[in-house]
Amino acid sequence: MKKSALILCLLLYTCVLSAQTLIGNYITPGSNGGLSLELERNIGGVQGYLKDAQGHRYFIQAEEENGIAFGTISMDQGAMFLRMVRQGSQLYLSLLPVGANGQADTNNAQEFVLTAADEKGNPIYSAPSATPRAYDQPTAKAPRNPNPPPAGKWDGFFSGRVMDRPSTMNLQLAGTQLSGDMNVDGYRYTISGTINGYQSRGRMLDLQTNDYFNYTANLDGKQINLNIENPINGSSQLVIFKRGTGTVLNPNPPFNARPYEDVQFTQREQHDNRITGRWYFSESIKAGSYFVSKQWKFILNADGSYIFGDARVIGVAPENGSRGYGGDINYGKWRTENNILYVDSGAGWEAYAYYARTGDDLLLDFGNDTRQLWVRTN
């Protein structure tokens, strides 16, 4: 069956079948291992792991409605969309890459058919309604890290691209309540939702128009896979945000460096005493017909620790390196080499920016014509 025909069938199943639960275990018949899938209930849908013949595991989260689930599958090279529907004892799974527009690319979908397994793990065979593509193993590229997603933190600073525009998120977590703001190249949103383990769902407010729309997200180690729903046509866009320490003016890794990969240092650890101290940066952001002022403080301590965040919050927060004060403040380590400032916020060293002293000021150059001039403060 052609890809487009199988995808169309998936969309039509809800019209001719009674909805069946997706919760359970599934496998592909055969003696070579094949695929296995474990699904359990989460808020608003399902989550679980897809495992291939080599033992690689891929984390899944999806929203379920009327027997069809649509969501994402996390891989080391990024996330993909997926669609699942069950018919009798069979589960039809489609993996859809993310297109250039952030939507699911249905023309390059990969399809698999899995069969429900009983509690002992024995397959319950039934004649397939269609001939699936070969499914001894997924045709998707295997991730470089086959382990389950590592534990991560929801709160902190993240960077990514929304519709190819540089974007950042600053999130705070209080219990199970998640809040924060997102900046898409100067266009501002606030975020309000709840979390349940690796999953979050809630609403985003457009500060320019006061319109609300829904989001779902999953935390995958050092990144957040964010699905943003279009309130007009119901479509969704997948955006991957990487954890980082940049401000809203530093949405991308500097000079094309990839954060969180192993940074190779050629010298012993150094802390350039010319930039040790307390630094202040202010920006004005237009939101509709008014302007919002943001103040940031960057404290580079002589012992190699740093504090970064909202200047108003840092003014009343402890400066002893405690990480328990909240998401408005980021604590970590810093070092310098060859006029590059490196930071480690707990997920590994990252090349943060080129730096230079200009009189009593500190110039940070993030590449892509993005610079900030920080002023020394008491």
Residue 71: the pLDDT is 82
Burial class (CB in 10 A: 0-12, 13-18, 19+), 346: middle
The domain ranges of the chain are: 3-116, 156-243, 254-258+267-376
The 10s digit of each residue's pLDDT in 267-309 is 778 899 999 999 988 766 544 444 555 678 899 999 999 988 7
Residue 63's DSSP bridge partners are 45, 70
How would you classify the pairing of strands 199-206 and 212-220? antiparallel
Which CATH number applies to 156-243? 2.40.128.20
The one-letter code for the residue type at 256 is N
Poorest-pLDDT segment among 49-58, 198-207, 321-330, 340-349 = 321-330
d(CA 168, CA 157): 7
User: What CATH topology corresponds to 254-258+267-376?
Assistant: Lipocalin (2.40.128)
Overall size of the chain counted in residues: 378
CATH 2.40.128: does it fit domain 3-116? yes
Side-chain-side CA neighbours of residue 31 (13 Å): 0
List the alpha helices (DSSP H) in the chain. Answer: 3-16, 311-314
Cα–Cα separations (whole angstroms), residue 204 to 10, 61, 169, 178: 30, 20, 12, 11
Main-chain phi, psi angles of 255, to 5 degrees:
35, 45
Condensed to tens digits (0 to 9), the pLDDT of residues 122-160 reads 332 333 333 333 223 232 222 333 333 444 688 887 887
Coil/strand/helix, residue 1: coil
Average pLDDT of every residue of the chain: 70
pLDDT score, position 276: 93
Query: pTM of the prediction?
Result: 0.37
Given this chain, do its domains 3-116 and 254-258+267-376 carry the same CATH topology?
yes
Q: What is the pLDDT of residues 228-262, one digit of tens each?
A: 887 666 667 788 888 764 433 333 333 333 333 44
**Nearest 5°: phi and psi at 221?**
65, -110
- Read out DSSP for 155-202? SEEEEEEETTEEEEEEEEEETTEEEEEEEETTEEEEEEEEEETTEEEE
> Do the bridges between strand 223-229 and strand 236-243 make them parallel or antiparallel, or are there none, so unpaired?
antiparallel
pLDDT at 22 over 70: yes
Contact 75, 141 (CB under 8 A): yes
Q: What is the pLDDT of residues 317-339, one digit of tens each?
A: 444 443 333 345 778 889 998 88
Round to the nearest angstrom and report the end-to-end CA distance of the chain: 70
